[in-house]
Copies of this chain bind each other. A is one copy, B any other.
Amino acid sequence: MTTRIVELRQGILKKNDELARGLRQRYGSAGVLVLNLVSSPGTGKTAFLERTLRELRAGGARVAALVGDLETDNDARRLAASGAPVRQINTHGICHLDAEMIDKHLAGWDGVELGGLDYLFIENVGNLVCPSSYDLGEGIRVALLSVTEGEDKPLKYPTLFNSADAAVITKMDIAEACEFDCELARKNINEIRPGIRIFETSAKTGAGMDEWLGYLAEGRTGRS
């Protein structure tokens, strides 16, 4: 039984990798930088992304977002407040997004063409485990961690942090109330993924957003 599951899983991942490769080529040709945001439920991905979309739009960038959830379109509605085009993907019980879901939802997205975008954000299903295994063809994978979650999350969920290109610490405005040890968190992240860029942010106060937006701009320059 175990052997069959492993084989089947490898087959699924292989198929996903092939689809992701195709997506990556399409993103490259279109000149759009794609980011895949992964975290636990409740880390504040949506608040962080909403502020990111809003600030990028204010700076004249063309942005859009796909957002994954098991059920509800709450997050899509929240993100739409930024004024950016947003499309909800409901996975109905699947605990991650895969390349096929992205491919399907890019097709027939009213008024949105990859070639007309500077940035496409994908907010993954809230889960620290399974999304790590599914390449969505993204240029940058972002692991988010909130100050309420404990400094040892990177050690407990190494695959996500090890496969990420950037780490974002969220909710810094309540760091003190949570007795969050930022240096320890940074040390743990660095242990799993040495040298990774780490951003300390608050979607509420705007702390750290300038540095984050600078990183996004660099990401585009590096690609064009």
Contact = CB atoms under 8 A, between A and B. Distances in A.
7 contacts: A1-B11, A5-B12, A74-B152, A93-B129, A127-B128, A148-B178, A174-B177
Contacts of A103: none
Interface stretch (A23-31, A112-120, A156-164): A156-164
A171 B126 CA distance: 20
A153 interface: yes
Contacts of A130: 95, 130
A123 interface: no
A209 interface: no
Interface stretch (A48-56, A64-72, A211-219): A64-72
Contacts of A4: 8
A177 B42 CA distance: 15
Contact of A41 (B72, B156, B177, B178): B156
Interface string A137-179: 0000000001011101101111100000000000100100110
A190 interface: no
A146 B43 CA distance: 11
A153 B43 CA distance: 12
Given A42-B42, A42-B146, A126 B126 contact: no
Nearest to A96: B129
B69 A156 contact: yes
A41 B153 contact: yes
Given A12-B5, A95-B130, A130-B95, A153 B70 contact: no
